[in-house]
């Protein structure tokens, strides 16, 4: 029997490509927009594009913040993608300070506008970039990046980056012109990918397959 991944449908972003990629990874997929639908999912995925403030506003107005936090506290696998990863954190500095879900300690800040040579570079950070092991992490064994090798590329589109308070929550980084970007994070059963696995070819599909396999 296929495991059911609930994709949180809160009016932020196109869900079709994520759903299609999850189905290709062997999951059953349901769009969930109520607390009861959310609770019935085996795993939960929070996608999203756009601003942090708008994303949190939609979650609050739809009554999904408390059910998401309760879901995570039950120990069930949870994955945030792009804006969905940023919403996992305590606060964002995008257009003022805005409280997030608070599932991972830390804050979301703007990508520095200057690179290693102090010259301005393009914001947002768009395109393929290699994933690296953060300082102190030896491998990705037992995580959603299991089976991938450092240097494998993923597809990014973002202007803000998460800064976990605990460096042990950094699962993967990438270098954008000398700026260290949190590419993926993990705190217990909570995962986040700043990049788009559904747009990252075979490597992204491997990540989604690993997520679907989590207990």
Distance between CA atoms of residues 137 and 72, nearest Å: 24
Q: Which residues are catalytic?
A: 82, 196, 198
Distance between CA atoms of residues 98 and 89, nearest Å: 10
In degrees, rounded to 5, the angle at the alpha carbon of residue 173 between the alpha carbons of residues 192 and 20 is 40
Q: Residue 73: which residues within 8 A CB-CB, separation 6 or more?
A: none
Rounded to the nearest 10 degrees, how much is the dihedral formed by the CA atoms of 20, 22, 26, 27? -110
Distance between CA atoms of residues 34 and 26, nearest Å: 24
Burial (Cβ within 10 Å: 0-12, 13-18, ≥19) of residue 214: middle
């Amino acid at each position: 029997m296929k495991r059911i991944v609930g994709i949180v449908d809160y009016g932020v972003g196109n869900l079709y490509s994520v759903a299609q990629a999850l189905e290709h990874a062997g999951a059953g997929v349901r769009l969930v927009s109520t607390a009861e639908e959310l609770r019935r999912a085996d795993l939960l995925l929070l996608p999203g594009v756009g601003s942090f403030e708008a994303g949190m506003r939609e979650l609050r107005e739809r009554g999904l913040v408390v059910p998401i936090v309760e879901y995570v506290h039950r120990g069930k696998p949870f994955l945030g993608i792009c804006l969905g990863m940023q919403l996992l954190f305590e606060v964002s500095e995008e257009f003022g300070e805005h409280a997030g879900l608070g599932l991972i300690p830390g804050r979301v800040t703007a990508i520095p506008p200057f690179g290693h040579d102090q010259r301005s570079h393009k914001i947002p950070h768009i395109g393929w970039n290699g994933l690296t092991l953060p300082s102190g992490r030896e491998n990705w064994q037992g995580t959603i990046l299991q089976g991938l090798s450092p240097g494998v590329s993923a597809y990014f589109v973002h202007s803000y980056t998460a800064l976990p308070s605990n460096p042990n929550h950094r699962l993967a980084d990438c270098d954008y012109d000398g700026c260290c970007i949190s590419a993926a994070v993990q705190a217990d059963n909570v995962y986040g990918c700043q990049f788009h696995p559904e747009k990252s070819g075979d490597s992204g599909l491997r990540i989604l397959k690993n997520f679907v396999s989590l207990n």
